[in-house]
A and B are shown apart, each in its own frame.
Chain A
Amino acid sequence: MQQRRIRVLLAKPGLDGHDRGAKVVAHALRDAGMEVIYTGLHQTVQSIVNQTIQEDADVLGLSIMSGAHVPIVRKLMTALQASDSEQRLILVGGVIPQEDIPVLKELGVHGVFPGGTPFPEFVQFIKEHVSMIRA
């Protein structure tokens, strides 16, 4: 049986409308053979969680440029746990200071990829880690 393609939900939480990065990443993941669902802008954390479940996403990628990544991720992880659906690969991209990366990982984020990360880096990361999480 052919293996199911990796499903990625790319989300833009909050009011920030800068989605150039998210759309570039969407293209790169699709070119790498993954299925990409993009939420569009202005999503609440709850709506992102709902879509993750509905779409049965293996990977949840958040693009955050506003500086609010820590409170957003904290809220997201609580909501994912509340709906018993945290078994996903959680990734964060955008404008993320180095010092916040350990904080995000502590909260349960698996990988953080600030703007400018070469495509192969996160594509490889997803391929290597997704099976462990979704096993």
Chain B
Amino acid sequence: MGVATYLKDEKDAIKKVILESDLEIKPVYTPDDLAQSGFSYEQDLADPGEYPFTRGLHPLGYRSRNWTTRQYTGFGSPEQTNERFKLMIDHGQTGLNVAFDLPTQMGFDSDDPMAEGEVGRVGMAVDSLQDFETAFEGIRLDTIGSGLTINAVASIMLAMYQALAEKKGYAKTKISATPQNDILKEMIGRGAWIYPVQPAVRLIGDTIEYAMQELPRCNPVSVCGYHIRESGCTPAQEIAYGLLIAFAYVDNVVARGYAADDFVGRFSFNFNIYGNLWETVAKFRAARKLWARLLTERYRVTNKKALLLRGLFGGGGSGMTKQQPENNIVRGAYYALAAALSGAQTTALCSYDEAYTIPTERSALLSLRTFQILMDEIGLRDTVDPLAGSYFIETLTKEMEAKILEEMDKVEQVGGMIEAVSSGYVQSEVARQAYEYEKKIQDKSVTKVGVNKYTEGADMEVELHRYDEAAAEAKIRQLKALKKEREQSAVKKTLQALEKAAAQKQNVMPPLVECCRHYATVGEMADVFRQIFGEHQEPSIF
């Protein structure tokens, strides 16, 4: 939930402030602190848009380019999702962020017994290209970019997006899709994994390699420290783990004979914005700097554009509470401010009702307005990196950088990220911290307004989005009809080609696109991989 620990005396004066990342904040900062930290403008900051990009990616920041807002949207049927997409675009949203239901995320068709009770529940149900055609009906794929929040079967969704574009008459070179495609973080924090670590990482390598060659405007991977933070890690660990996960994917593609220079520019990140304001700002500034520096040092990347840590800084889910939910509107505004002061390029905000239900149209719009007020009304676009040069912020950024490196080192000591996820080291570290944090909330050594202080008695009732059984049944009927209508022999042939590519370690993307064109289902394609790769076994951490 993200708050610092405050040690106070009997008169309520603050004696000590300890941030979640275990960094201490002093009561006063002076030029001496900066000098002691070894700060240098050229090396630690430089001008905005210049290496190491601490001050942001663009020379003129938000002046030249307002941020992109991408509220997470998608529920029930492709038809309903399409309606909500159009509404958000009409209200000024400039990119889509697609939510899929759990069966789709886990590679099950809507009629699979494992999908029972889950079809369309937490996002849109996608069985085949037909559903993409419906969901993106009337939406321009050359001007609107789409984030696809899916991981284990991200390769399938990227292939489907390409098949959709072709069908709608857009060249594949013109479309912009960002599948989340970060399986290691799913194994640490979000749980939507299917295949074992090694083949799962290989699938990510396949999508990166393919995008490099065929989809120049697609960013094939969005590394999500976000969900690891939601699962309990500190801000410093969020960045440390995020960067190490990215390096694991880089290594996979470099091992295929490519230079990191040619593809890391396509990586994007998704990091969280809740917690202490200063810690958040320092986290993002340190993250940009470390990404650029480590790519230079470890992979000899020289292409300036490839060094930019681009991404969505947003969300804030774990900061939100179901107690006194209106407080989340205020929290959201402060989180958005933190994102803006951090130089976020793309952003999204959890809606105030998201802690207890799927956001309503009104609450999703309110999140969008929160950003618009910051940028269009109160002046966040006026100047780039307004906190730069602050004795405090620059000292904290330096300390955060050192802390992130320390956390990275711990993982490298146990053999690197892939090994640390396979053995359960990271999962265990994150779970332990979630527990320690919960203990602090319960013993009130950290304060969460409305939760353990300033409470108002009765809790807000959670309001579950009732499961629409009729819609799920309609979806299943539609899928059955599709299976009858499509050309079965072509489907069979494309699935066989996919199987061959998967088994022979050829890139699976070309056969996946072919499968999608012929309306093979997500379940059919995912099953091919299940047969060849097997399934992930969670390491025991208790």
Contacts and interface: CB of A to CB of B under 8 A. Distances in A.
Interface of A: 14-20, 23-24, 26-28, 30, 36-38, 40-42, 44, 66-68, 71-72, 95-99, 114, 116, 118-119
Contact of A17 (B103, B191, B442): B191
Contact of A15 (B118, B438, B461, B538): B118
Given A17-B192, A67-B467, A118-B442, A37 B117 contact: no
Given A20-B232, A97-B464, A116-B451, A66 B122 contact: yes
Contact of A97 (B115, B193, B438, B463): B463
Contacts of B98: none
Q: What is the size category of the interface that chain B forms with chain A?
A: 35 or more
Contacts of A119: 438-439, 442
Given A27-B432, A67-B464, A97-B462, A42 B106 contact: yes
7 contacts: A19-B191, A27-B435, A28-B435, A36-B542, A41-B191, A95-B464, A98-B462
Nearest to B465: A67
Contacts of B122: 66
Contacts of A19: 191, 231
Contacts of A66: 102, 118, 121-122
A99 B466 CA distance: 13
B182 interface: no
Nearest to A31: B435
Interface of B: 102-103, 105-106, 108, 114-115, 117-118, 121-122, 186, 189-193, 230-232, 356, 431-432, 434-435, 438-439, 442, 451, 461-465, 467, 538, 540-542
Nearest to B113: A44
Contact of B431 (A23, A44, A97): A23
A121 B435 CA distance: 16
B434 A68 contact: no
A97 B106 contact: no
Contacts of B232: 20
A41 B431 CA distance: 14
Given A68-B117, A118-B442, A15 B102 contact: yes
Contacts of B118: 14-15, 66, 68
B533 to A, nearest CB: 16
B516 to A, nearest CB: 23
Nearest to B451: A116
Contacts of B467: 67-68
Contacts of A24: 431, 434-435, 438
Contacts of B540: 38, 40
A20 B434 CA distance: 7
